[in-house]
């Protein structure tokens, strides 16, 4: 389900918010998966997203596991949520956007993270990956909105450091899901 912004509301109190992000006093509340326009709005206005109907029970992730499994091993392979940083430089075929959840960490620009089902191209392993970095999150949500998944992508750490001292994660199109390069 793709959604648009519902309303702006005061931000929840920050638990681990650094001083550089403390000025974000408003959140854009979304239902379902945020659209590219909603993500763009949040980034332009320097506000966080808040998922109103967060799937805390994990039903959407379970449904995705069942839909993406082609073998009995696949049913169990993606049970552990992996970090995107564990797969930097690898070609991943992103098969589905399973859920968007509110983050407990306020370092990110958006305050949410995505859970995706992917296949590691080099091994064929089915994995569940958490994506909280801004560019990868926005691109995966946009691909979902365009109905352009599955898609082969590679995530790479930027060599250039931002003014805030971070090295962002960039997304490289790695070809079609059928013929990644």
What's the pLDDT tens digit per position in 113-170?
999 999 999 999 999 999 999 999 999 999 999 999 999 999 999 988 888 788 889 9
Which residues does residue 115 pair with via DSSP β-bridges, in sequence order? Answer: 99, 130
Q: Which residues contact 89 (CB under 8 A, 6 or more apart)?
A: 154, 155, 156
Domain membership of residue 85 (yes or no) is yes
Q: Total domain count for the chain?
A: 1
Task: Look at residue 37 and tell me if it is in a domain.
Answer: yes
Q: Which residues pair with 12 in a beta bridge?
A: none
User: pTM of the prediction?
Assistant: 0.72
Q: Is residue 163 part of a domain?
A: yes
Mean pLDDT of the 57-77 span: 65
Residues 5-15 pLDDT 10s = 444 444 444 44
Angle between helices 36-45 and 134-145 in degrees, nearest 10: 150
In a domain, 180, yes or no: no
Q: Is residue 166 part of a domain?
A: yes
The pLDDT score that the predictor gives to residue 170 is 94
Q: Is residue 2 pLDDT above 80, yes or no? A: no
Higher pLDDT pick, 72 / 82: 82
Q: Identify the domain containing residue 105 by its residue range.
A: 2-173
């Amino acid at each position: 389900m793709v959604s648009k912004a519902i309303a702006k509301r005061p931000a929840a109190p920050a638990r681990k918010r650094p001083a550089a992000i403390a000025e974000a006093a408003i959140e854009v509340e979304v239902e379902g998966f945020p659209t590219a326009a909603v993500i763009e709005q949040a980034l332009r206005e320097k506000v966080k997203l808040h998922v109103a109907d967060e799937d805390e029970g994990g039903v959407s992730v379970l449904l995705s596991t069942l839909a993406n499994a082609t073998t009995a091993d696949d049913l169990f392979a993606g049970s552990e949520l992996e970090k995107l940083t564990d797969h930097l430089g690898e070609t991943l075929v992103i098969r589905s956007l399973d859920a968007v959840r509110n983050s407990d960490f306020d370092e990110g620009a958006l305050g949410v993270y995505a859970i995706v089902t992917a296949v590691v191209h080099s091994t064929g392993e089915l994995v569940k990956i958490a994506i909280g970095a801004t560019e990868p999150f926005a691109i995966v949500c946009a691909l979902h909105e365009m109905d352009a998944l599955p898609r082969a992508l590679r995530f790479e750490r930027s060599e250039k450091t931002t003014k805030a001292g971070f090295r962002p994660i960039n997304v490289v199109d790695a070809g079609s899901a059928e013929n990644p390069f």
